[in-house]
């Protein structure tokens, strides 16, 4: 199952249906924009801290990865900042950065050929939580009249579309921690079907509100390593005790290869394959046998016509939860067999925490940087490695190499499994 191809010509129909990433936009706890994020990854310094947004006293967990330097007024128009909640604000800012990074003038594009796919697990629920407090104190007159527009499930993608005049395909999915990855996979499908020439895709999450945060603490999903926040998120470490909640957004500009080549765009990576499955097992626990996680990875490989032995790095979900990491490790071994012994694997949540629906998009964008800047980040805080699967972990200093074929995993509540196959378009 090889991905060998004949040389492409300028009139080759395949140029229209191959999807490439040409712009990256980060708004995360480890940085806003490409360069700050890349520098922070090299510093091996976690953004996890004691929460100072609200009183976490009632809960077992008191730590999170916050974005402390985001000013919506500085990055958005006054009207946008006034009429949106934090989840949409993060997404709009990340989109602006991605469009600038892609050096694309969306105003010159045919509007109905520009689409938007977004993912968010909770959307505007945190903002609604705050408005509910106003309602309890003072009744309906105290509630922001724009509340209905923030809790609307499609708010993120629709706000992006309005800001950029994108009247093409549009959707926001809410498939838990896989949703950002699913959004990018849907961008691939839209390009492959010929539904769009350009798609803005990614994820956004703003869950750092008392009840949103506390709900995950109540089900004991989050780390209680409160005395040492910097090491609390430790994917694949045997001492992991839960994920660390984060906020953040990442959006990418996806174009058909033909469109990107015509305008001379810089290409980070091709989105060559996408796999999506569901465990149909449990709302919070993965299938113990990892069957559907394996199938999602295999579907992405098949979609890309890529053999397992050709993959050069697995960008893991690595949530730092006891069950998920061991299940993912065993599933990777199940897909790659003996190739696993030489296949580097790492995940970046030790730096930026777990921003739920935004995490897959943040990690996909990081993978794009690793592919073009020839350095694979390690898994921060992974000291005593998870034995399940016997994985080939990236060393603490990272790997100075250029991975040309990358598998990116995302797994979430409800048994959602998503995988992307990224590769150098010249491979």
Q: What is the pLDDT of residues 3-37, one digit of tens each?
A: 444 444 445 566 779 999 999 999 999 999 999 99
Tokens of 166: 């994108």
pLDDT (0 to 100) of residue 378: 97
| Number of other CB atoms surrounding residue 23 within 10 Å | 26
Distances (CA, A) of 299 to 48, 52, 212, 295, 409: 34, 42, 33, 6, 12
What does the pLDDT average to over 230-235? 97
Q: Which percentage of the chain shows pLDDT scores above 70? A: 96
| Band of residue 226 on the pLDDT scale cut at 50, 70, 90 | very high
3-class DSSP assignment, residue 401: coil
Distinct helix (H) and strand (E) counts, the chain: 15, 14
3-class DSSP assignment, residue 36: helix
pLDDT (0 to 100) of residue 11: 52
CB 99 within 8 A of CB 106: yes
Task: Specify the CATH number of the domain 20-262.
Answer: 3.40.47.10
CATH T-level assignment (fold) for domain 276-421? Peroxisomal Thiolase; Chain A, domain 1 (3.40.47)
Q: Looking at 317, 352, 368, 393, which residue is catalytic?
A: 317
SS3 letters across 7-27: CCCCCCCHHHHCEEEEEEEEE
Concerning whether 317 is annotated as a catalytic residue, the answer is: yes
pLDDT (0 to 100) of residue 6: 46
- pLDDT at residue 174 greater than cutoff 50: yes
| Band of residue 324 on the pLDDT scale cut at 50, 70, 90 | very high
Q: Are strands 416-423 and 405-412 parallel, antiparallel or unpaired?
A: antiparallel
Q: Looking at 164, 259, 354, 393, which residue is catalytic?
A: 354
- pLDDT at residue 43 greater than cutoff 60: yes
- pLDDT at residue 1 greater than cutoff 50: no
> Which one, of 364, 290, 378, 382, lies nearest residue 21 by Cα?
364
CB 95 within 8 A of CB 118: no
pLDDT (0 to 100) of residue 15: 75
Reported as a single tens digit per residue, the pLDDT across 204-215 is 999 999 999 999
The CATH 3.40.47.10 portion of the chain extends over: 20-262, 276-421
Reported as a single tens digit per residue, the pLDDT across 85-108 is 999 999 999 999 999 999 999 999
Rounded CA-CA distance 180/194 in Å is 22
| Band of residue 128 on the pLDDT scale cut at 50, 70, 90 | very high
Reported as a single tens digit per residue, the pLDDT across 407-420 is 999 999 999 999 99
Which residues touch 34 (CB under 8 Å, ≥6 apart)?
24, 26, 97, 101, 369
Q: Which residue has the higher pLDDT, 168 or 427?
A: 168
Q: Looking at 177, 306, 392, 416, which residue is catalytic?
A: 177
CB 418 within 8 A of CB 181: yes
- pLDDT at residue 390 greater than cutoff 90: no
């Amino acid at each position: 199952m090889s991905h060998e191809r004949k040389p492409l010509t300028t009139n080759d129909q395949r140029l229209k249906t191959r999807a490439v990433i040409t712009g990256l936009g980060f708004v995360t706890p480890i940085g806003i924009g490409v360069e700050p994020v890349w520098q922070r990854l090299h510093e091996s310094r976690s953004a996890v801290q004691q929460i100072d947004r609200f009183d976490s006293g009632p809960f077992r967990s008191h730590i999170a990865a916050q974005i402390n330097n985001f000013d919506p007024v500085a990055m958005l128009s006054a009207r946008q900042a006034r009429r949106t909640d934090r989840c949409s604000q993060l997404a709009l800012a990340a989109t602006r950065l991605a469009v600038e990074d892609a050096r694309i003038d969306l105003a010159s594009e045919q509007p109905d050929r520009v689409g938007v796919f977004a993912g968010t697990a909770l959307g505007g629920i945190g903002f609604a939580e705050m408005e509910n407090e106003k309602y309890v104190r003072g009744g309906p007159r105290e509630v922001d009249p724009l509340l209905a527009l923030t809790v609307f499930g499609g708010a993120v993608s629709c706000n992006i579309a309005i800001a950029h005049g994108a009247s093409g395909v549009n959707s926001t999915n809410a498939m838990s921690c896989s949703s950002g990855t699913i959004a990018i996979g849907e961008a691939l499908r839209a390009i492959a079907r010929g539904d769009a020439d350009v798609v803005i895709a990614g994820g956004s999450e703003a869950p750092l509100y008392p009840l949103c945060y506390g709900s995950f603490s109540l089900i004991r999903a989050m780390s209680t390593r409160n005395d040492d926040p910097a090491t609390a998120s430790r994917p694949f470490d045997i001492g992991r005790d839960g994920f660390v909640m984060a906020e953040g957004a990442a959006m990418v500009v996806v174009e058909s290869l033909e469109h990107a080549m015509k305008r001379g765009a810089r290409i980070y990576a091709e989105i060559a394959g996408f796999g999506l499955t569901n465990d149909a097992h449990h709302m919070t626990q993965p299938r113990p046998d990892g069957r559907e996680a394996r199938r999602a990875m295999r579907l992405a490989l098949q979609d890309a016509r890529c053999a397992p032995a050709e993959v050069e790095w697995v960008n893991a979900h690595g949530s730092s939860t006891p069950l998920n990491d061991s299940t993912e490790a065993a599933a990777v071994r199940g897909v790659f067999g003996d190739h696993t012994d030489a296949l580097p694997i790492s995940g970046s949540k030790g730096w930026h925490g777990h921003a739920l629906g935004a995490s897959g998009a943040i990690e996909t964008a990081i993978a794009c940087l690793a592919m073009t800047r020839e350095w694979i980040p390690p898994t921060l805080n992974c000291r005593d490695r998870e034995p399940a699967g016997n994985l080939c972990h990236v060393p603490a200093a990272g790997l100075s190499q250029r991975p040309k074929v990358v598998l990116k995993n995302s797994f979430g509540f409800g048994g959602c499994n998503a995988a992307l196959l990224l590769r150098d378009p010249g491979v």
